[in-house]
Chain A
Amino acid sequence: MTRSRGYWERALQWLNSPQDGAGIAAFRVLFGALMVFSVVRFWAYGWIDEMYISPAWHFSYLGFGWVKPWPGVGMYVHYAVMGVAALAVMLGWRTRYAAAVFFLAFTYAELIEKASYLNHYYFVSLAALLLVFVPTDSVWSVDGWLRHRRGEAFEEIVGRWAYVVLRSQVALVYFFAGFAKLNADWLFRAEPLRTWLLAYLELPVIGPVFGYAWVAFAMCWAGAFYDLTIVGWLSWSKTRPWAYAVSVGFHVTVWLLFPIGVFSWVMLVSATLFFAPDWPRRFVNLLGKRRVVGVGGVRAKSVFGQPVRSRIGGVGVVLVAGYLVVQVLVPLRFVLYPGNVNWTEEGFRFSWRVMLIEKTGQVEYEVRDGGGRVWRVYPRGEMTGLLYRMIKTQPDMNLENELRIAERFADEGYGSVRVYAHSWAALNGRASQRMVDPEVDLAAERRGLGAAKWIVGLAAGLN
């Protein structure tokens, strides 16, 4: 008992040991800047209207059907608030409140439309949530500057736990992204990367190289190895410069080749969390003549002499551990569902399964009423291009659409109808096959977390 208490106390001591706050401050500044850029970009491209205002209805997450777009110009106001909050995070002004506002605004927007789900949006939500609790305003922040003006204690240090939490989150993203690549399509067929690379044969110099199958295989294996091990290489000081250089090469190449928005930059910013905590000071010192000092510099003694104010206690450790356990279990939930997760997409979202599938589909619905009347519904004309693309390949959204069709018919006075899907899809170069059992009346099904028995399993054959 005494020994375990000793371990616990030593762990707490280790978690609260002083670290330079510059590292996570740099993360906050860069993350905030990226989010400001993202909001401006989303607005400028007209996506607020396209995503939230134009569609007559939205696909919702289970249990979040109540999350709706604001009326009128409400979504523009929403994004304005989000942008201001991101700016405040970047500047470190009312940092935790700003992070909370950004988290709520961003997550609300993402919850409105399931079809807009992207892994990096999910990561942004999680990172914003963590910034509410992790002390990131100790250095290079308006909050810190105001405290200094008020003559409050100089505090440029944070407890080690702040780094541990953020690093753990990023490490989980990389690990599960690599883990998801350990499948036959990726490792032994180099799909879908091989097909995607062939689209870039026109690029000068490097383009023709993509025509070789071995290049796609090499990139697949290297990509899986990178995702699974990069956290280790970034954490070890001897390999860190090389690891970060490889990261830059990896993420920027991916950004150039594929339309993944700010994802690459978010991950490059996140990778800096694994640097030595004082890296921003050394970086600034290297670039400028003015010496920016802190922990490890001339003020080191005075800094280390002060207590860490943002300490984590036992309850905090338990909460953080619980959060991380959830973050481990959620990506693993796919094992609870039968079939290939890349085909059924049950347990696919929130699991860091990135760039794994090239999926195309065709869907139309047969509606039958009690009087023997039959309707054929072609959904393309009823929704935006994005929604149409998603329902063709994602079974759960397919079901949601069929329930909506049944509701619509009921509203139009046709009473209770049966809805059957003629849904076909192809995954990673395989021949097309049925995705949904055409004999099942999906209007009688209910959305839920259980395995969908109406999804037809993936056949093994290849083209």
Chain B
Amino acid sequence: MKRWIGMLCVCGLLVSSCSGEADKVPDLRRAIMESWGTHIIIPTYRAFEDRAEVLKARSNALCESPSTETLEAAQRAWWDAREPWKQMDVFAFGPYMLEPWRVGPRVDSWPVRVDSIEQTLAGDGLLKAEAMGAFQKGFPVADYLLHQPDVDLVTEVSGDGRRCAYLLVVVGDISAGAKVIADAWDPEVGNYIGELTEAGRPGFERFSSLQMAMSEIVNRMTFLVENIRADKLGRPLGTNIGGGAQPGKVESRYSGRSVQDILDNLRGLELLYFGTGEEGSRGLDQFIESRGYEFDEEMRGNLTACREALKEVPGPLAQAVVTDPATVVAASEALGKLQRLIQVDMLNALSLTPIFNDNDGD
């Protein structure tokens, strides 16, 4: 029996050598996620914050001096503010969805619900962002208020002031939301980026390990592409209801920015994969290369194919799904190939499949 105890002790020593807590060992995954934080997430959300502030200022200017010039300036500001915001769609988790931040639904619940907006405009209640539902504020509402067709918007904003007051509340809330989400990720403030780069360490338990944190992001890349196909293209095409275009279901319906929104989504994805090109910027490509795989060429080819297919979509998406749905279907198919590359090939090579609960690998 003593021999048995001896054997078990030896065994325990061997096993304990693999059980130490992951400590300060450099890891490429950590380095990449730190780089994403430094070069992509924080600067892009700060850019969003700045541009949202510009949108607020130009909306104020529009309301103070209604004119075609101030209207166009406000419209441009709305368009510009969308760029960094849509590039960050891949990070639709954490501060985007979770309380106490939950900035995503607050800033960008779409498709727009015109009835809800018109009701608010027609009402006489106090216009207060905190009291408004997700579909009564955010980018889609500002889109409607700044781009509503068949309406003389300059005259509208010069009227009784209700439209302007509503617009100012909405853009003010977008601006506030932008600051909330930028602060939440910022390591100097909310440090949500630490949940990725310090995953599994004390105080950072959202993800149990670097592998799980990395898995979340790469899986989010696939979700993003599928969401583009299913929600941004599929629903307006009517494929969820068996045909019959639904132009009212497009994102950024009134500004006609729908396709540009998707292109911005793809740009965000491209930044994650290849990095920004700045010194010290890292991308997922480095992690893939470290695992002995090579997808750069396929990734570039797929991104190019997606962009070219989207460029073939004539005019605003809301119109194209009615007049030339084949081009929209072709864009969806190109995106499907991109989705497959990430969701099937990359996830397999990196073993980044999310784990729901215990499994024995079968």
Contact = CB atoms under 8 A, between A and B. Distances in A.
A18 interface: no
Contact of A283 (B1, B291, B345, B349): B1
B27 A118 contact: no
Contacts of A386: 356-357
B360 interface: yes
Interface in A397-435: 414, 422, 424-432
A-side binding surface: helix, strand, loop or mixed? Answer: mixed
A351 B361 CA distance: 13
Given A204-B25, A242-B7, A263 B242 contact: no
Contacts of B27: 201-202
B99 interface: no
B119 interface: no
A274 to B, nearest CB: 13
A373 B21 CA distance: 56
Nearest to A119: B360
A308 interface: no
Contact of A263 (B5, B7, B360): B360
Contacts of B239: 374-376
A316 interface: no
A321 interface: no
Nearest to B234: A376
Given A118-B360, A244-B7, A249-B11, A429 B348 contact: yes
A405 to B, nearest CB: 13
Contacts of B229: 378
A375 B239 CA distance: 5
Nearest to B344: A432
A355 B361 contact: yes
Contacts of A330: none
Given A119-B362, A202-B210, A256-B19, A362 B7 contact: no
Interface string A22-47: 00000000000000000000000101
Contacts of A429: 293, 348-349
A432 B243 contact: no
Given A203-B22, A385-B354, A389-B356, A249 B344 contact: no
Contacts of A286: 1-2, 5
Q: Considering residues B6, B10, B12, B242, which has the most beta carbons from chain A within 10 angstroms of its beta carbon?
A: B242
Nearest to A206: B18
Contacts of A207: 22, 25
Contacts of A426: 344-345, 348
Interface string A367-381: 101001111101011
B11 A389 contact: no
Given A202-B22, A203-B20, A373 B11 contact: no
Given A206-B18, A245-B7, A248-B8, A362 B25 contact: no
B15 to A, nearest CB: 5
B14 A198 contact: no
Given A196-B351, A245-B10, A260-B360, A360 B211 contact: no
Nearest to A275: B4
B8 A245 contact: yes
A345 to B, nearest CB: 9
B361 A204 contact: no
Contacts of A381: 230
A253 interface: yes
A219 to B, nearest CB: 12
Given A202-B22, A261-B357, 4 more contacts: A263-B358, A354-B361, A359-B348, A375-B240
A-B pairs with lowest CB-CB distance, top 9: A261-B358, A245-B7, A355-B361, A373-B242, A432-B344, A426-B348, A376-B239, A386-B356, A360-B348
